[in-house]
Amino acid sequence: MAIQHKTKRRLVGLAAALFCLWLGFVGFIDWAMHQSPEQFGKVMSHMPPPAYFLFPFETMWMQARKGTLSVGSTAPDFEVKNLDDKSPVRLASLWTGKPVVLVFGSYT
């Protein structure tokens, strides 16, 4: 009877320790998701593939990167280089009474 009690206590202790480690892991990933894309990439490049199944990655990612814009909000101004001549173009310079459509990636 005493052996069963000791075994049960050890299993509960082990489960509690694993849960604390998991919480620390989730906290670390959450911290990394709130860093710059470069820093987040460095962290995730060292992550073994099975680790992605140990935490709610998609839910955490959507919360970390949701930003503050909502439907109908004005897009923040930014500058990019023109693909033709590499000259800088500001988003605000394109707002001259007509809608602006931003395409990221290939549309062909």
Yes or no: say if 33 and 65 are a contact pair by the CB < 8 Å rule.
yes
Report pLDDT for 99.
Answer: 81
| pLDDT per residue of the chain (108 residues) written in tens, 0 to 9 | 677 888 999 999 999 999 999 899 889 988 998 888 888 889 889 988 888 888 888 888 888 888 777 888 877 888 888 888 889 988 888 877 788 877 777 766
Q: Is the pTM of this model over 0.75?
A: no
Selection from 33, 64, 62 nearest residue 47 by Cα:
33
Tokens of 96: 């001259």
Report pLDDT for 1.
Answer: 60
Report pLDDT for 108.
Answer: 64
Domain boundaries, the chain: 2-64
